[in-house]
């Protein structure tokens, strides 16, 4: 089965839902506002961790172990 790579703004590879959320919040200016509040309060917003968790939970590419399992099941 062919893997599909999705590219977003600036041809950045979109690995999962977290990258879509990040692109949306950047395009709408939400990320700039969150970053400003984060700088003012001195607290990390957690955006990077959230992005990574979402990418892991809902990836766009199938994981290699899934591809191997599918290959083995068709043989």
HSE (side-chain half, CA atoms, 13 Å) at 41 = 9
How confident is residue 71, by pLDDT bands cut at 50, 70 and 90?
low
- Nearest 5 degrees, angle CA 25-CA 31-CA 37? 145
Nearest to 50 by CA among 30, 66, 70, 65: 30
- Compute the mean pLDDT over every residue in the chain, rounded to the nearest whole number: 83
Q: What is the pLDDT of residue 2?
A: 44
Model confidence, pTM = 0.67
pLDDT digits (tens, 9 = 90+) for 4-20: 455 555 667 899 999 99
Domain ranges in the chain?
12-73
Query: Is residue 8 within 8 Å of residue 14, measured between CB atoms?
Result: yes
């Amino acid at each position: 089965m062919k893997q599909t790579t999705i590219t977003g703004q600036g041809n950045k590879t979109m690995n999962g839902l977290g990258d879509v959320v990040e692109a949306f919040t950047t395009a709408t200016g939400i990320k700039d506002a969150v970053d400003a509040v984060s700088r003012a309060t001195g607290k990390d917003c957690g955006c990077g961790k959230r992005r990574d968790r979402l990418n892991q939970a809902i990836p766009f590419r199938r994981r290699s172990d899934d591809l191997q399992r599918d290959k083995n099941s068709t043989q």
